[in-house]
Chains A and B, each alone.
Chain A
Amino acid sequence: MKPSPLRGTAVTARVGLALGVAVAVCFLTGLISHFIQHPQPWFFWPTRPVWLYRVTQGLHVISGIAAIPLLVVKLWSVWPKLFERPILGGPVRALERLSILVLVAAMLFQLSTGLLNTAQWYAFEFFFTTSHYAMAWVAAGAVVVHIGVKLPVIRRALGEPLDDATAGGSGGPSRRTVLVGTGLAVALATAVTAGQTIPWLRRVSVLAPRSGQGPQGVPVNRSAVAAGVLRSARSPKYRLTVTHGSTTRAFTIADLAAMPQATHQLPISCVEGWSANAEWTGVVLADLVAAVGAPPDSDVRMISLEPPGPYSRTVLPARHARDSQTLIALRLNGEVLDLDHGYPCRLIAPTRPGVLQTKWLSRIEVV
């Protein structure tokens, strides 16, 4: 059995180029999401357009899923090289093989853990976010090394015509067919999953982890049951406490509802790649900050009724805290906030990952 004439650098380089673009988009959008969640002094993240994070994180998952068929075809096109002799040879060849193993293993790690995370299936026994982030650097580095090693081959292959070899005579597929077929597979993979963030694809996204349905027309990531807030959120003793230094004010739900209300269309965009636009009504956060006499350019800490955990308290940077569209929402799509959406009140700010839009707020501290 000899290798198919369809395999070869002409196909590998072209599919590799597309894969490189997908990986670059995935890596950069992933870094954006990481630095929003782990802010650095040099990192700037704007509040407009309000759908910015929806787009970057949607792209992160879409480009990652698009990379799956591209990687399948790319590996298919080079697979016979695995058995080329000498298997190891000298130190240079051994090193090259090792770099390929790192590249393939890191890429498969990223795509498999990322895909499993979108479906909340934690089959692996390590923490997803930190290992996915660390391995992203390994994969990115391995891609750059690989491009460096193969640069002359890539240049030659892309400069030459496709040289249309055909498998099994004139009736079989050509190299062009391989490229067109790969493009179709990428389009199909996108169509069957991207509806979780692109509404008009919802009906055809038959393999998307979310249909887009949920209480009040919005999906939920963490339920009130999982957060353990069923009793505290419905308690008649509930108060939202807002503090700034020694100034403390406590608001009942009626107090909040009596304040000036604002309504905005804002997306809720999850790190897992789903998003939905919704109409939120509530108190502008800046009004609450002003109510305790705090300056508008302060960071604000949001603390949930949820017992202490990784996302039960978050810090909202000053730029977002003073934004006129940042709300402490009491209503969603015209109804009182569902318990699973954060009743009695929750944070909703533009361009922020859903995981940082703290639900079941109990305390707001101006830092």
Chain B
Amino acid sequence: MRVVLIILGTAIGGYGAVLLWDNSFEVIVRIAVWAVAGAVLHDFVFAPLCVAMGFTGRRLIRGRWWTPVTVAGLCTVVLGLLAIPVFAKPGLRPDNMTVLNRDYPLGLLLSLTVVWACVPLYYLVARLLPVRQDEVVERQGAEDVGGQPPAV
């Protein structure tokens, strides 16, 4: 099964490589640079930034606030990524006003406001609902005993 998948996947990917090969050398280089730049940007800029934010945030925000804050953080990142191609309307052409015809800064602001408004809401609901004893015990680990700094 595994061997079949690996051979099949190599064949499928190989077909894609053959299709890419139809381009001129210059275009192949541009495509490869765009693809690898994405991976490098993620691994050495985006991911470390997220870790740094998480590491700092964890020290500033304690207790039950942290859970909703992390989810809101993820949502913020996703909204930010989706806003990149529309925020400043780089693809706008004056002859067609049916594309990029929203107020994107306002839209981003509104959606972020909704996301972060959910944080105190979640905090309140979580405080009002009784926490089950089992859940707390179940989720306790060695770290709850020692005084080690919490991990990110």
Contacts and interface: CB of A to CB of B under 8 A. Distances in A.
A174 B101 CA distance: 40
B47 A76 contact: yes
A101 interface: yes
Given A113-B34, A119-B85, A141 B139 contact: no
Which DSSP category, helix, strand, loop or mixed, fits chain B's interface? helix
Contact of B139 (A2, A133, A170): A170
Contacts of B86: 119, 207, 209
A123 interface: yes
B2 A209 contact: no
A136 B20 CA distance: 10
Given A101-B39, A138-B13, A192 B111 contact: yes
A1 interface: yes
B30 A168 contact: no
Contacts of A214: 98
Nearest to B34: A124
Interface string A209-220: 111011100011
Interface string A113-130: 101101111111111001
B91 A226 contact: no
A148 B9 contact: yes
A112 interface: yes
B74 A134 contact: no
Given A167-B152, A168-B66, A192-B82, A109 B35 contact: yes
A110 to B, nearest CB: 9
B119 interface: no
A164 interface: yes
A119 B83 CA distance: 10
Interface string B1-24: 111111011111111110110110
A109 B34 contact: yes
A106 interface: yes
B75 A184 contact: yes
A151 B93 CA distance: 48
Interface in A127-154: 127, 130-131, 133-149, 151-152
Nearest to A182: B74
B117 interface: no
Contacts of A226: 93, 95-96
Given A167-B151, A213-B101, A185 B74 contact: yes
A189 B36 CA distance: 25
B90 interface: yes
A173 B150 CA distance: 12
Nearest to B118: A184
B2 A151 contact: yes
A105 B78 contact: no
B74 A1 contact: no
Given A113-B34, A121-B90, A170-B140, A144 B78 contact: no
Given A120-B100, A147-B9, 14 more contacts: A1-B152, A5-B141, A5-B151, A106-B35, A109-B35, A124-B34, A134-B19, A143-B9, A144-B12, A144-B13, A145-B13, A168-B151, A177-B67, A181-B75
Shortest beta-carbon contacts, A-B, top 4: A141-B13, A206-B107, A137-B16, A148-B5
Interface of B: 1-6, 8-17, 19-20, 22-23, 27, 30-31, 34-36, 38-39, 42-43, 47, 50-51, 54-55, 58, 62-64, 66-67, 70-71, 74-75, 77-79, 81-86, 90-91, 93, 95-96, 98-102, 104, 106-108, 110-111, 115, 136, 138-141, 143-144, 150-152
